[in-house]
Chain A
Amino acid sequence: MADGWSIGRHAFTSRLLVGTGKYPDFPTMQRALAASGAEVVTVAVRRLDLSKQGAESLLEWIPKGMRLLPNTAACFTADEAIRTARLGRELEMGDLVKLEVIGDRRTLFPDVVGLVEAARVLVKEGFTVLPYTNDDPVTAKRLEDVGCAAVMPLGAPIGSGLGLRNPYNLRIIMETVKVPVLVDAGVGTASDAALAMELGAVAVLMNTAIAEAKDPVLMAEAMRAGIEAGRKAFLAGRIPTKLHASASSPMTGLVGS
């Protein structure tokens, strides 16, 4: 069964997007990326270390055919994020950007005011903007209104592994906006990814949960399976919850009755 999805003019099959940070080494990253089945990988834009010329490039270890999604991680103002997005576009020669404007160092929660401002500018410059945002339906709507191609609310703080702390808000966001909703950040294990998909997320973006697992390659496989299971459960339509039992076997015709 074909079950594709798209952001702007970009079409995808895999509903798992993965990061490239925090891996113990490049070979492990490469195997984990391949095992994840992801078609999109995030990358960060940083000053080139001029003292380390000839060092191995990250790009050599990203499996061929994967689309790069430059991020604006660690930008604390709209202006920094806009500059970084422009540099990312120059590096990648594509129009996708994962837009982050961070408001707080300890929690890495987004500065949603700066985020909307940066999104507005970048959309006008022709970027396909995927904003990392708080789990706030009003902000999600503002981001859609300024032309973002998707919204990416957090499940929990970046790298925390706390899972989906506010599944109800995520559901409300999915009801509120028409653009695709991707859950980004907070996933700790495969059941978190499955839950995001069961709620109706279009896809899930994660990094730490795979990269810092004891066995990143095996966790990438688990996440892939979790995403697929959650997506199928969402499509299949779960039963309503009930307080009392509903027997699966006939209650009549028992021996001796």
Chain B
Amino acid sequence: MQVRLNGELREIPDGLTVAGLLGHLGVKAQRVAVELNDAVVTKDRYEAQRIGPGDSVEIVAFVGGG
């Protein structure tokens, strides 16, 4: 299915959960925060929260800043 991932259209396997997507991307869950359709998904919901076609997913991390 196609989703918008960090602003770019991307093909990912159907029916992934947030945890599944992070695993698919090789991202360590403890280092990131995730937004699904503009709302934060808390870490305790990663296993249960499914991603659907056309969803917008943002994966963010801390970088240097002032």
Contacts and interface: CB of A to CB of B under 8 A. Distances in A.
Interface of A: 19-23, 29, 42-48, 50, 53, 57-59, 68, 70-71, 73, 83, 86-88, 90-92, 158-159, 185, 205-208
Ranked 3 nearest A-B pairs via Cβ: A44-B65, A207-B66, A19-B66
Interface string B18-31: 00000001110001
Given A47-B7, A48-B27, A53-B25, A91 B61 contact: yes
Given A90-B42, A91-B32, A50 B63 contact: no
Considering residues B7, B32, B43, B66, which has the most beta carbons from chain A within 10 angstroms of its beta carbon?
Answer: B66
Contact of B64 (A22, A87, A205): A22
Contacts of B60: 45-48, 87, 91
B56 to A, nearest CB: 12
A58 B26 contact: no
Interface of B: 5-7, 25-27, 31-35, 38, 40, 42-43, 58-66
A23 B66 CA distance: 11
Contacts of B64: 19-23, 29, 43-44, 58
A57 B64 CA distance: 10
Considering residues B33, B34, B42, which has the most beta carbons from chain A within 10 angstroms of its beta carbon?
Answer: B33
A44 B35 contact: no
Given A48-B6, A83-B38, A90-B43, A43 B63 contact: yes
Given A50-B6, A53-B27, A83-B38, A44 B63 contact: yes
A20 B65 contact: yes
B14 to A, nearest CB: 20
Contacts of A43: 62-65
Contacts of A50: 5-6, 25, 27, 59
A57 B42 CA distance: 21
Contacts of B65: 19-21, 42-44, 71, 73, 207
16 contacts: A19-B64, A20-B64, A21-B64, A21-B66, A44-B63, A47-B7, A47-B60, A50-B27, A53-B26, A57-B62, A70-B62, A71-B65, A90-B40, A91-B32, A158-B66, A208-B66
A208 B60 CA distance: 24
Contacts of A90: 33-34, 40, 42-43
Given A48-B32, A57-B31, A86 B62 contact: no
A47 B31 contact: no
Contacts of B66: 19-22, 42, 44, 71, 73, 158-159, 185, 205-208
